[in-house]
Structure 1
Amino acid sequence: MTAISHHIPEPMLAAYAAGNLPHAFSLVVATHISICAECRAVVEAHEAVGGVVVEDSGAFAVSASMKADLLSLLDDPIPEAPVYARSGPYPGPVVEALKGREPRWKKLGMGVRQDILAEDKHGSVRLLYIPPGQAVPDHGHNGLELTLVLQGSFTDETGFFGVGDVEVADETLEHTPIAGAGDACICLAATDARLKFNAFVPRMLQPIFRI
């Protein structure tokens, strides 16, 4: 894998460490830090600071019933969650989101495919498969989009993005991503609002594709 050049912004890493990110963005951050030592170190630093703050916080009194409820919860066995290893181009957090299955690709046209991993009122996260040399229709953004490259590469108006790179797009960016030569480009993309497609056909199909 080539060196990672585009990272998660530190305020977002801090929000992730504090547990304040929506699920869609948290999955992208978790996947990125699983392969990026630099951003993983930043998250660990924020977590360490948070731990110190908790330790330095003063104790406060609770009712006897609340104390009993808390102690009973500590006595309950914690179910062991399965640990997912990397599978092909998919790091552990993505394999976990897939629940160990292979992606269920749905065609979007021109060879582009997607698998929506999660969707709620706060946003959505999906895998995108883009054949070599294929462009994603020109579009802008109504909110924030994080796109993490898992395989292959793409270029757009802002530069080149290879495996491990994350593009952070907001309302100021309008672009036309184009997959690079070689392997198909597979990305993990999270959004908190629908995209703004400029062409009529993508706009017409947008409610069907939920993107």
Structure 2
Amino acid sequence: MSAVTHHIPDAMLAAYAAGTLPHAFAVVVASHISLCDHCRVALAAHQTVGGVVLEDSDAVPVSSSLKDNLFAQLDAPFVPEPVYDRSGIYPGPVMEALQGRALKWKTLGMGVRQDILTEDAHGSVRLLYIPPGQAVPDHGHNGLEMTLVLQGSFSDETGQFGVGDVEIADEDLEHTPIADAGDPCICLAATDARLRFNAFLPRILQPIFRI
């Protein structure tokens, strides 16, 4: 997708290729890659380098119990994982996170809605629906936040983000994202810590909205 201008940082692509990226962020990276030719090529390069490193690594002896467990798993009946295809604006990784269920939008006020796809001690990933012209309350971050645009666009202090673009926000960024005119802005957002809202009301409601 040639219109994508905000990409995944190279170090994060390397972590994704190595399988060390936390699940919530991996869902966003996988979704972005499905929309971005540039990052898809960069990921393939990381995977190729990883394969070369494995081939050149010295063999490591393993215990007989490990081999027995491996062969037992190979003999176990194969149960194929369900395959969830892309649906409308939602990439395959989002459909996989939904696990075939319909969207369950929950209102956050002022027309903003969310659907939490997954949440655990390491982070959460959610869909956000923001009406045109509506702002998300001014906030900072206690960790990392990745936001991928699936429909429409939004703007904040760092620039404008359209379909396929991803914004990486850390503890140093405080911003007020505003959905641009046109289609409602629908985003996929992952965090590894609660946001840091500046206004009183969002802080009071934060435990209810789990954001």
Which residue of structure 1 aligns with residue 58 of structure 2? 58
In the other structure, the counterpart of 1:184 is 184
1:107-122 equivalence runs, <5 A: 107-122=107-122
- Contact residue 84 and residue 96 of structure 1 kept, 8 A: yes
Greater shift after overlay, 73-82 or 43-52?
Answer: 73-82
Match of 1:138 in 2: 138
* Cα separation, partners in 2 of 1:65 and 1:122, compared to 1, 3 Å: closer
Give structure 2 stretches of 5+ with no counterpart. Answer: none
Q: Answer whether contact 2:2 2:36 (CA < 8 A) is retained.
A: no
Q: Aligned-pair distance for 1:83?
A: 1.6
Structure 1: runs of 5 or more not aligned = none
Which residue pairs with 2:170 in the alignment? 170
Residue 129 of structure 1 corresponds to: 129
- In structure 1, how many angstroms separate the alpha carbons of the residues matched to 2:77 and 2:112? 45
* Cα gap change, 1:60 to 1:199, in 2 (>3 Å): closer
Q: TM-score, normalised by structure 1?
A: 0.96
Q: Letter of the aligned partner of 1:199 in structure 2?
A: A
Matching residue of 2:80: 80
RMSD: 1.3
Matched, 1:67 2:70: no
Q: Structure 1 CA distance, aligned partners of 2:201 and 2:54?
A: 53
Please name the residue that 1:205 is paired with.
205
CA contact (8 A) 1:2 1:162 kept: no
Q: Displacement, 1:36?
A: 0.7
Aligned AA (1:110): M
Equivalent residue, structure 1, for 2:17: 17
Query: Offset at 1:198?
Result: 0.8
Return the alpha-carbon distance in structure 2 between the equivalents of residues 78 and 40 of structure 1.
Answer: 29
TM-score normalised per structure 2: 0.96
Greater shift, 62-71 or 150-159, is seen at 62-71
- Superimposed CA distance per residue, residues 66-89 of structure 1 (whole angstroms, 9 cap, x where no aligned partner): 323322222223321122111111
Aligned to 1:150: 150
What letter is aligned with 1:77? P
CA distance in 2, matches of 1:7, 1:162: 12
**Paired residues of 2:113 and 2:128 also in contact (CA < 8 A):** yes
Identity of aligned residues (%): 74
For 2:76 and 2:55, the matched residues in 1 are separated by 24
Deviations 1:32-85 (A, max 9, x none): 001111111111111111111112222233333432332222222332112211
| Aligned 8 A contact 1:24 1:124 in 2 | yes
Q: Specify the alignment match of 1:28 in structure 2.
A: 28
Which secondary structure state, in structure 1, belongs to the residue aligned with residue 104 of structure 2?
Answer: coil
Structure 2 CA distance, aligned partners of 1:137 and 1:6? 23
* Count of aligned positions: 211
Shift of residue 2, structure 1, vs aligned partner: 6.3
Check the 8 A contact 1:2/1:163 in 2, yes or no. no
What is the DSSP-based 3-state SS (H/G/I as helix, E as strand, rest coil) of the residue aligned with 2:52? Answer: helix
